[in-house]
Amino acid sequence: MRSLLRTPTVPPELLRDVALVCLASGVVGLSFGAIAVAGGLPVWVPVVMSLVVYAGSAQFSTVGVLLAGGGPVAAAATGLLLNTRTAAFSLAVADVLGRGRFSRLVGAHLVTDETVAFALAQPDPERRRAAYWISGLGLYVVWNVCVLVGALAGSAIGDTGTYGLDAAFPAVLVALVLPALREGPSGVRRAAVTGAVVALAVAPFVPAGVPVLLALAGLLTPMPGRTS
């Protein structure tokens, strides 16, 4: 890692962009830790989850299901489903992870939307490798430190509803899916609407977290140009 930071091929604008993304990630991490603990979870839950899972959207959805009263199976399944996209991301950056088992294991754990975007934006393999590891390690450290600080602060917040923080998890999840709905093909929007209708229809009758899983029925919606 030290050699990557010293390499002259890393453009200053990359370091600037990584720093800005780290700042934004830190703010979200503070919010995640604080709301998780203020909602009733012990401090170690968001901290360990951030170290081991390290996936913002999956962590938000999992904790959201738990705080809504859902069981651990439904919460874990929701997080796993959201995180399946990283399998494709890993293939896209496989060449920058290195050849050793340890480097590939660590590198795979650092796969996020941001690290992949930074790596793929570079023009050559050397810069892709540097961009991936600099952004990956930087984001991992900032995220986990801020989640810990937020979790410690969350124990003093009390009732999240008093500050409107109980709406933070749904708001974050909406923000995560809006770009795909706005810029994606019409088939994506059709599937999302179908899934939302299914989730709302079954919500009064099933435990928390299950409606999210049943919303996957939206994926069965026929795509344009396809015949069922």
End-to-end CA distance of the chain: 51
**Which pLDDT score is estimated for 140?**
95
- Give the pLDDT of residue 141: 95
Find out whether 60 and 87 touch, Cβ atoms under 8 Å: no
**How does pLDDT run across 86-138, given as a tens digit for each residue?**
776 777 777 888 778 888 888 888 888 788 888 887 878 888 888 889 989 99
> Distance between CA 228 and CA 209 in Å, rounded?
29
Range ranked top by mean pLDDT from 24-38, 78-92, 181-195: 24-38
Question: Is the confidence at residue 165, as pLDDT, over 90?
Answer: no
User: What are 58's two structure tokens?
Assistant: 């999956």
CB 79 within 8 A of CB 61: yes
Q: Position of tokens 């770009």?
A: 179
The tens digit of pLDDT for each residue in 177-212 reads 666 566 666 666 777 788 778 878 877 776 655 666
What average pLDDT does the structure give for the chain? 76
pLDDT of residue 85: 66
Q: What pLDDT does residue 7 have?
A: 46
